[in-house]
Amino acid sequence: MFTVRLEDAFRAAPRSTFQTDPASAYYFVSHTEPSANILNLRAAVQWSSFEAAAFLRNALNSHPLMYGLANGVDNGGSSTQVVTLVPRTLSVSGTWRY
């Protein structure tokens, strides 16, 4: 038996928060985090009591820039971290049932 699973994980841009609210007296940040969309793929083949599977995370290798402060804590001054999504990652597994 052969199975394929596609998974589209979407996260919309968040609403205004203390980090992005221009009325905030403490944080004067003019940008918001963008929407993020990740496509994951899993393929598996099973015969008798053995299953082999491959999982491809972030199959399209999308990497929008995500902005934010480390753990929501001000690290002094205007130092913000710029991060992105996990790059394309391949995982392989094998399962033997007895």
Give tens-digit pLDDT for 35-93: 788 899 999 999 999 999 999 999 998 877 665 554 455 555 555 566 778 889 999 99
Order of strands across the sheet that contains 2-11 = 2-11, 36-47, 50-57, 89-96
What type of residue sits at position 81?
Q
- Mean residue pLDDT of the chain comes to 76
Q: For the chain, what percent of residues have pLDDT higher than 70?
A: 60
Spatial CA neighbour of 55 closest among 63, 47, 43, 45: 43
Tell me if 57 sits within 8 A of 89, measured CB to CB: yes
Helix (H/G/I), strand (E/B), else coil: 93? strand
Q: Quote the pTM value.
A: 0.62
Q: What is the CA radius of gyration of the chain?
A: 20
